[in-house]
């Protein structure tokens, strides 16, 4: 190694709370908050929030459910309405073109709904069927896209979860029969008593109840919990197929030992189903492919975080959504000591399902179709009557509130044995996005040294000829590192990078240290 040299660190796309606290190479972050990993190998601050409804729903209730309902009507032209459960009422929102117009219209009608109950949604032939999870569940209700919602006809079972599968409506978990799964007549959500209807008892003596349902790739998956847990599936296309018995409905066991935490945590991701259990986020496909449910956990890198930070007794509130436009899967979770969802996780399927942490939560999550064919992510909030667009372009929360993106490395060994380097500079390579970036550098056991890098978005790219904005410590555009002086000997170093100003952003590509060889006996790391 030369007397002076740069030690560069490529930004990792992995967060781990379980890997070694000391490392020679930077392969993971020990903290990765409010960031996403981009395919360009940059790490970017997660977007902010903006209000969908400019005025709060009356009474500022918690928005416990969100769904994007689409109806063909008599003309065959599709019309879509975002739907929300909030307080004791049901709301829909009109669209101007493809864009939700920002005003919630009450469509509760004569229904009596339980405040604070989580709903489940399912659509069949222009009928949006809804059930609610409560100690005494509300009677299933239905909305056809016009007028008000109403009670579902045909004496349906008063269950907590519903699902559309094989052209039928399915409802499960009544108070009288928590392990019974009912199905309606074909193409008729209001017929629950004819010869074309029926039910399945799903291990009624196992001490669990049906928590969730999901129709996926011509299979209806039934999730039980919350104690021992099991997953079952219904195969076939009709109650009785006279021409092909293999197409008649029948139940098959998938796996035992996986108790589902929440219906709302089941998220279809491509050919897979992800869901939350007491141990973490799980992939059903991994269990089916490898025959071992342990291999199905997607949170193996952060088991310490899950154990120490997630409130296990509130996992029934867990909510998830597949944010298709970003190819991200987002979960909202309740953290230790809290009663509502206050944080969450972002998964990156394109990068091997790596994870980052969210420090804000939501009562409900859903994607709504918008202009340009985009499916944008929305969050229903607690106790304020608002639905927010997530991942908004402005890096601030609604109301111009700051939040912080934070990255922390493990303790990085710079020198072998007892050798040391003398540190001379810290540098960052970023796309200039605006706002100050704070870097805390901890050398060995010394107190952290704080550095501030000022980003100048635009005007600091050298090849434009604009030089007056290129000052010491500022980002000089893509590919030009910003440098700050730092002094002191070090054998090991830990680096924390954060950005937390209102509207400030971060897109980190690389960082590193310029060091000086302090001992000729040292070898290059």
Which tokens go with 38?
Answer: 């981009």
Q: What is the pLDDT of residue 456?
A: 73
Instruction: Write out the H or E segment, with its range, that includes residue 305.
Output: helix 303-309
How high is the mean pLDDT of the chain?
91
Question: What number is the average pLDDT over the span 451-471?
Answer: 50
In 351-404, DSSP assigns E strands to 354-358, 364-369, 375-380, 387-392
Domains of the chain (ranges plus CATH)?
A: 4-45+405-517 (2.60.120.260)
Q: What is the pLDDT of residues 13-49, one digit of tens each?
A: 999 999 999 999 999 999 999 999 998 889 999 999 9
DSSP secondary structure, 232-289, as one string:
EEEESSBS--SS-GGGB-EEEEEEES--B--GGG-EEETTEEEEEETTEEEEHHHHHH
Q: What is the pLDDT of residues 74-112, one digit of tens each?
A: 777 899 999 999 999 999 999 998 999 999 999 999 999
Q: What is the pLDDT of residues 380-410, one digit of tens each?
A: 999 999 999 999 999 999 999 999 999 999 9
The phi and psi torsions of 59 (rounded to 5 degrees) equal: 85, 0
Name, in order, each residue with C-beta under 8 angstroms of 515's C-beta and a sequence gap of 6 or more: 4, 5, 7, 414, 421, 422, 423, 424, 490
Which tokens go with 216?
Answer: 């996926």
The number of residues in the chain equals: 525
Q: Cα–Cα distances in Å, from 303 out to 17, 112, 211, 253?
A: 7, 41, 24, 27
Question: What number is the average pLDDT over the span 488-509?
Answer: 96
332: closest CA among 350, 349, 357, 355?
357
Q: What is the pLDDT of residues 127-180, one digit of tens each?
A: 999 999 999 999 999 999 999 999 999 999 999 999 999 999 999 999 999 999
The phi and psi torsions of 376 (rounded to 5 degrees) equal: -95, 150
**In angstroms, rounded to a whole number, what is the distance separating the alpha carbons of residues 495 and 86?**
43
Q: Cα–Cα distances in Å, from 20 out to 8, 17, 68?
A: 20, 8, 43
Q: What is the pLDDT of residue 521?
A: 42
pLDDT band at 519 (very low <50, low <70, confident <90, very high): low
Instruction: Write out the H or E segment, with its range, that includes residue 326.
Output: none
429: closest CA among 510, 500, 524?
510
Residue 305 · residue 357 · CB < 8 Å = yes
Q: Is residue 290 scored above 80 in pLDDT?
A: no
379: closest CA among 328, 432, 321?
321
Question: What number is the average pLDDT over the span 340-359?
Answer: 97
pLDDT band at 69 (very low <50, low <70, confident <90, very high): very high
Find the distance separating the first CA and the last CA of the chain, reported in whole Å.
9
Question: What number is the average pLDDT over the span 436-464?
Answer: 77
Q: What is the pLDDT of residue 39?
A: 83
Phi-psi region of 508 (alpha: psi -120 to 50; beta: other; left: phi over 0): beta
**In angstroms, rounded to a whole number, what is the distance separating the alpha carbons of residues 68 and 61?**
20
Question: What number is the average pLDDT over the span 253-257?
Answer: 93
Q: What is the pLDDT of residue 314?
A: 97
Question: Where does residue 450 rank: exposed (0-12), middle (13-18), buried (19+ CB within 10 A)?
Answer: exposed
Name the more confident of 77 and 53.
53
pLDDT band at 304 (very low <50, low <70, confident <90, very high): very high
The phi and psi torsions of 230 (rounded to 5 degrees) equal: -165, 160
Q: What is the pLDDT of residues 161-175, one digit of tens each?
A: 999 999 999 999 999
**In angstroms, rounded to a whole number, what is the distance separating the alpha carbons of residues 465 and 267?**
50
What 3-state DSSP class applies to 37? strand
Q: Is residue 72 scored above 80 in pLDDT?
A: yes
Alpha helices (H) in 41-101, listed in sequence order: none
**In angstroms, rounded to a whole number, what is the distance separating the alpha carbons of residues 23 and 4?**
22
Q: Is residue 357 scored above 70 in pLDDT?
A: yes
415: closest CA among 407, 423, 424?
423
Q: Is residue 468 scored above 50 in pLDDT?
A: no
pLDDT band at 292 (very low <50, low <70, confident <90, very high): low
Q: Is residue 459 scored above 50 in pLDDT?
A: no
């Amino acid at each position: 190694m030369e007397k002076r040299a740069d030690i560069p660190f490529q930004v990792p796309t992995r967060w781990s709370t379980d890997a070694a606290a000391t490392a020679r190479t930077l392969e993971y972050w020990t903290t990765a908050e409010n960031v996403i990993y981009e395919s360009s190998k940059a790490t970017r601050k997660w977007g902010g929030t903006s209000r969908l409804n400019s005025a709060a729903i009356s009474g500022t209730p918690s928005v416990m459910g969100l769904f994007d309902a689409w109806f063909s009507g008599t003309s065959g032209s599709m019309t879509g309405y975002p739907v929300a459960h909030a307080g004791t009422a049901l709301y829909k929102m009109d669209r101007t073109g493809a864009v939700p117009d920002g005003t919630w219209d009450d469509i509760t009608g004569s229904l009596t709904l339980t405040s604070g109950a989580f709903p489940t949604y399912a659509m069949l032939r222009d009928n949006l069927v809804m059930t609610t999870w409560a100690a005494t569940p509300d009677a299933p209700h239905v909305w056809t896209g016009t007028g008000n919602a109403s009670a579902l006809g045909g004496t349906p079972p008063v269950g907590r979860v519903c699902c559309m599968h094989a052209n039928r409506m399915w409802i499960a978990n009544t108070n009288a029969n928590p392990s019974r799964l009912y199905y309606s007549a074909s193409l008729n959500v209001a017929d629950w008593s004819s010869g074309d209807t029926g039910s399945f008892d799903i291990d009624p003596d196992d001490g669990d109840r049906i928590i969730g349902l999901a129709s996926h790739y011509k299979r209806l998956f039934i999730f039980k919990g919350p104690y021992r847990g099991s997953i079952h599936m219904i195969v076939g296309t009709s109650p009785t197929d006279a021409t092909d018995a293999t197409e008649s409905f029948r139940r098959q066991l998938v796996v035992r030992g996986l108790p589902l935490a929440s219906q709302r945590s089941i998220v279809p991701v491509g050919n897979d189903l992800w869901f939350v259990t007491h141990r973490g986020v799980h992939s059903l496909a991994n269990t089916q492919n490898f025959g071992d449910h342990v291999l199905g956990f997607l949170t193996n890198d952060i088991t310490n975080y899950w154990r120490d930070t997630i409130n296990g007794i509130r996992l029934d509130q867990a909510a998830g959504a597949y944010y298709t436009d970003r190819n991200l899967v987002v979960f909202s979770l309740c953290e230790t000591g809290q009663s509502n969802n206050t944080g969450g996780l972002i998964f990156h399927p394109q990068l091997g399902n790596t994870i980052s942490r969210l420090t804000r939560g939501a009562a409900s999550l859903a994607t709504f179709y918008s202009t340009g064919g985009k499916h944008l992510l929305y969050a229903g909030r607690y106790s304020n009557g608002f639905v927010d667009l997530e991942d908004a372009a402005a890096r601030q929360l609604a109301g111009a509130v700051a939040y912080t993106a934070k990255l922390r490395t493990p303790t990085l060994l710079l020198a072998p044995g007892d050798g040391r380097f003398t540190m001379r500079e810290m540098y960052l390579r970023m796309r200039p996005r605006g706002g100050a970036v704070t870097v805390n550098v901890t050398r060995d056991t010394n107190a952290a040294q704080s550095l501030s890098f000022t980003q100048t978005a635009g005007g600091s790219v050298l090849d434009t000829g604009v030089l007056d904005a290129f000052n010491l410590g500022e980002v000089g555009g893509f590919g030009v590192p910003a440098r700050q002086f730092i002094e002191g000997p070090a054998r090991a170093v830990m680096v924390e990078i954060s950005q937390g100003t209102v509207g400030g952003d971060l897109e980190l590509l690389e960082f590193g240290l310029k060091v000086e060889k302090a001992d000729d006996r040292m070898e290059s790391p």
